Structures are given as structure tokens and as C-alpha cells.
Chains A and B, each alone.
Chain A
Amino acid sequence: MALLELTKVVKRFGGLTAVNDVNLAIEEGSLCGLIGPNGAGKTTVFNLLTGVYAPTEGDIRFNGTSIAGWKPYRISRAGIGRTFQNIRLFGELSVIDNVRTALSVNDDPGILHAFLRTPKWEQREQSTVKEAERLLELLDLSDVAKEQSNSLPYGRQRRLEIARALATRPKLLLLDEPAAGMNPQESADLMHLIRRLRDEFGVTILLIEHDMNVVMQVCEQITVLVYGQPIASGTPADIQANPKVIEAYLGTTSEDAS
């Protein structure tokens, strides 16, 4: 059984069908990519998976249970973490507090404990600091732990979003254009990191990316979405050779000629 399964998922906004009849299965431990031209519905798929939207039709099963129509926080607690295309950090909180916030959801002893500063509270408080420091180190952000998060440069803000998403202890991590705005060196580091997350931490990863370099090098499975519909699915080599994909991205020669 696949970790994530989309069956005939449709999402309509009024008369516009943003996602049409999508079937998708993601195996546990895989590293998948979702690509397609602008406006193909990739982010909408992410928003369906994370509960920002409920699907109009069809079913989404995660780990065997249907999560279609669940609230975002429930889906997050069930084990799907995400980053955002337009960075959404808790801007005025420090870098480490961004990560601690995500950790706190599981470890929150409750406000009564916080008010009375009980031993339980103190122990949780310290454990989240340790855990957060570990995650920041993994994402190479330890040196800016105390800084306000919206003062970081763009590339590091993206890394912090990943750290925060990891802090929710996801089984499946959705990355929405993780390499956007990164220079070649940064995106090379990122690719290395994404592979590490999968290999060392066993996190299943699904990413949206426009940087084909990144997608082709890092993903093992790629699905191509065009006008809300998947037109191809396969290994990077298959996708690159697929005439339908080439047509979607570049147009057909015959049409241009006529």
C-alpha cells in the first residue's frame, strides 16, 4: 500500500477546474517530483493534500486513512509537513522559536503547567530547545538561531521553513519550490540535504520545482501536471524522453509550422 494515494481527485473553483481527475500514488521512502508549467495546479494539489482546500470529488488516503476534508492542523499532526511557495515564517519570532513552535504542538504541557512552571514544563521546555538546536544544525542554521527570522536572507529562510516542517515529525514532507531564489551553490547544497533527509531520516518527500536541474537530479519519480491533469509519470529519464511532456513545455513543431 502506498503512503499517499490520490484517487480521482477533482478541485473546482466555480467554473474553473484547477485539478482534474488526478490519480497519484507515493510509496513510502520515495523521493518524488511534481512538475508542470505555471498554473498547472501543482500548488493546488499541495493545498488539497494539506487541507487548505477540500477536494470537490475523489479521495485522498494517507497511511490508509482518508484525509479528504480534514482541517490543516489535523493533517499536519497526522504526519504531512509542508513548506510554502511564498515563504511563511513566523516573521517576528526568532529562528529557533520558529522551530520550537512546531515542536511545541506535540510537546505542549498546557498553559497551566506553563503558568506554574512545573517540572514537567521545564523538562519539555528543555527538550524542545535541544531538539530545535539539532534541527537547526542539520539545516546549517545554528549560527543565526537567536536572530529574528524575517531578517534572514531568502535562501536561509527557505531552509528554516524546511527545519520547521521537519519539527512536526512528518512521514511525508511536501516542498513547494524549495530551490526558488537560490543560487547554484545553495541549490546544490539543498539537493544534498533533500537526499539526506530521505536516506537518514526516512522521510518520504514530494516536491514541486521549476529548476529542472534539481528535479532531474534529485527525484526518482516524476509526475507531470498540465492544466490540472497528470499527463505523464515515470523516472527522470522517461520524462525527459516523453513527447507529451516536451509538447507541454515547448509546444509542437507541426502546430508552429501550420
Chain B
Amino acid sequence: MTKPINYVIALAILGVLATLSVILPIYMDDLVYRVLMLSGIAVIMAVSLNLINGFTGQFSIGHAGFQAVGAYVGAALTVYGHNDIFGHLPKDGQIGTGWMSLAVGAGPMLASMLAGGLAAALIGYIVGLPSLRLRGDYLAIVTLGFGEIIRVIVENNDSVGGPRGFSGNLDIGVSVPAITNFFWVFGVAIVVILFARNLRFSISGLQYLAVREDEVAAQAVGIDTTRTKVNAFVIGSFFAGVGGSLFAHYEQTILISSFNFVRSFDFVTIVVLGGLGSVTGSIISALVLTALPEILRSSLGAQFNQYRLVSYALLLIVMMLVRPQGIFGRGELSFAKLRNKFKKPATQ
């Protein structure tokens, strides 16, 4: 991002995102728009989980737990910070659409994402440091337990709604504001994707991959494997927290039960299906696996929901039999590769 042309491109992308953010809610079908937003958040979650499970070869099955941390911390900030900091937002949280809403929501959204992300990262550090010093499946067990801890804490905490869910505070009359929009979801998604891709193709990223390949050899060439694993875990957790904050301010009502183990497992499914370590795989898999149930639900009716998990399991089994490395394996889909593919027959 150093050449002037890159700044121009970045600005252009921001402009396009902002414009779409204003136009889409008006012209797009509500359901389609909803699926689009949820897919975008799923992409953020999947790519950030891929940093941990795919790049560094660890096995976290508590990604939804970190999303929950981000969601609750982020939403608590905009609700309880309303009177002191975000007084310009309407108390019912409906900022509407249009160019003005972008400007009104920007500050609280950024603050909330940062708070949610940092809280998740901090907890990721606390959870990760002891379990990542060890090799093997400890992280899976610890992250599984962590998800339960978060659930119990939230359910017993009335200031964030406890088991009833959190949509605001009646005493001060403030709702969780609807500040999440297309701009933020896809802006963050692009940042996460760029981050993962730039890491993947850099010498810094090679160290993460080396830890995945062989920890003993990685140590022997001077890589501090514990630090590398903790780094990946903390960064992954940070983005999960950001995703949580986006989710909270989109739904406006968050239930702790929507961040349970099953949700975590959805993210693992997405990453495994796309190919562990493949960024493009995670993106496409996240888009498909979020959109597909919605499409099936609207075409087959509500009874599809009860078969959703069955279909996921079947999908994974078929995947393991036919293509165990995931759709993209460890490879990436890139425009350069596609170009080469089409060029080759012509030159030969």
C-alpha cells in the first residue's frame, strides 16, 4: 500500500462500498440483503479461524465464543456508552439508511468493533498462552470449555440480558443501535482477507506455516513456536471479536445460545470444507454455506432447518471421501492462475 496508485485503489474501494451501502438496502430484496450481510460476517469469521486452524495448524473449536465476547462487549459499549459518548444516536437505535446514516454510525461502529476485537484478543491471549505452550489437542479442549464459560457468564449477567438475550437496557431506554451496514461488513471482510493473503505470501507467514508442518523443525530453525501460535490465535480472536460486534449491531438482539458449540462447529466446517490454509477456499465456502441453508429454507420450507446439521455432516463425510484436502486444498484461487490456465492452450 505504498505506491500512490494503491491509495487511489483503496479510496475507490471505500467509495464503492459506501455507495453500495446506501443503494443496496433500498433496491435489494430484504431477505437477499440479510443473507448477504450474514455471509459477509461468516467470511470474516472463517478467514480469521483459518489463520489459527489452517495456517498454524492448531485446532480451535471455540471461535463462536470469541465472537460472543466481541458481540457482548461491543453492544454493551454502544448501549451503556450512549449517554456519555454516543448521544448523537437515536435511543431506539434506528439510524435508518442513506448517506447520513453512514456518517452517524461510523464513530460508534469503529469504537465498538475495536472494543469487541480487543476484548476477544485479550481473552484469546489468556486462553491461548497456557494451552498453546503444549503440542497436540489441548487447544481444542480448552476452547471447547471456554465457550461454555462464556455462556455461563452471560446467562448469569443481567446487565447484558442474561438468558433472555441482549437488545438494550430498559432502565436507560437505549437499544442496541443498528449501525452495522454493508460498508463495515465488507470493509472488514476485505481487511481480513488482505491480511490473511499478505501473510500467506510473506516470509512472516512462512513461520506460521512452518509451525503447522513440523514444530520440532520449526524450533530448530529458530522459530519461537509458542509465540507464533499465540500470535495467530490472538489475531484470529481479534477478528472474531470484530465479527461479533458487527453481528450484534446488525441483529440488534443477541442471544448467547446463537454462539454455542454448534455455531463454532459451523465455522470449523466452513474452513475444513474450503481447505485448511486456503483463504479463497474459506471465502467461497463461507459464502456458500451461509447462503445455501437460506436458499433451501425458502425453497423447501421451514422443515429444512431440522435437516441442516444432517446435511452438514453428510457434506463433510462426502468431502472426506472425495477430496480430503478441502475444495481448494492448500492452494489459492487467483486471477493470475486463471489467466495462465486460459493462456496455456493458446501458446502451446
Contact = CB atoms under 8 A, between A and B. Distances in A.
Given A90-B213, A91-B213, A91-B214, A73 B206 contact: no
Nearest to B1: A116
A118 B204 CA distance: 13
A167 to B, nearest CB: 7
Contact of B202 (A103, A106, A121): A121
Given A77-B222, A108-B207, A168-B222, A115 B198 contact: yes
A11 interface: no
Contact of A72 (B204, B220, B231): B220
B209 A84 contact: no
A97 interface: yes
Interface in A98-121: 100-111, 113-119, 121
B203 A104 contact: yes
A197 interface: no
A103 B202 CA distance: 12
Interface string B194-237: 11001100111111011001101111111111000001000100
Contacts of A97: 206, 209
A125 interface: yes
Contacts of B204: 104, 108-111, 113-114
Given A52-B216, A84-B217, A90 B210 contact: yes
A128 interface: yes
Contacts of A106: 222
B194 A89 contact: no
B34 interface: no
A57 interface: no
Contacts of B330: 92
A100 B206 contact: yes
B216 to A, nearest CB: 6
A107 B203 contact: yes
B199 A88 contact: no
Nearest to B231: A111
Given A91-B214, A117-B1, A117-B198, A73 B219 contact: yes
B2 interface: yes
A76 interface: yes
A121 B207 CA distance: 15
Nearest to B206: A101
Interface string B113-142: 000000000000000000000000000000
A102 B199 contact: no
A114 B209 CA distance: 15
Contacts of A88: 214, 216-217, 220
A50 interface: yes
Contact of A101 (B216, B221, B224): B221
A168 B221 CA distance: 6
A78 B159 CA distance: 53
A61 interface: no
Contacts of A158: none
Nearest to B228: A73
Contacts of B207: 101, 104-105, 108
A50 B221 contact: no
Q: Among A52, A81, A114, find the residue whose CB has the most chain B CB atoms closer than 10 A.
A: A114
Contacts of B213: 89-93
A73 B222 contact: yes
B198 to A, nearest CB: 5
Contacts of B206: 93, 97, 100-101, 104
A82 interface: yes
B220 A117 contact: no
B2 A117 contact: yes
Nearest to A88: B217
B209 A90 contact: yes
Nearest to A87: B217
Contact of B223 (A84, A105, A113, A116): A105
B203 A167 contact: no
B225 to A, nearest CB: 7
A125 B202 contact: yes
A103 B206 CA distance: 10
Contacts of A110: 204
Given A73-B223, A91-B213, A101-B221, A119 B2 contact: yes
A124 interface: yes
Interface of A: 50-52, 71-73, 76-77, 81-82, 84, 88-93, 97, 100-111, 113-119, 121, 124-125, 128, 164-165, 167-168
8 residue pairs, one from A and one from B, having the closest CB atoms: A104-B203, A90-B213, A76-B222, A72-B219, A114-B202, A102-B221, A105-B222, A88-B217
28 contacts: A71-B219, A71-B224, A73-B222, A73-B224, A76-B219, A81-B220, A82-B220, A84-B220, A88-B214, A90-B209, A90-B218, A93-B213, A97-B209, A100-B203, A101-B209, A101-B210, A101-B221, A102-B221, A104-B203, A108-B203, A108-B204, A115-B199, A116-B1, A116-B2, A116-B198, A117-B198, A165-B220, A168-B221
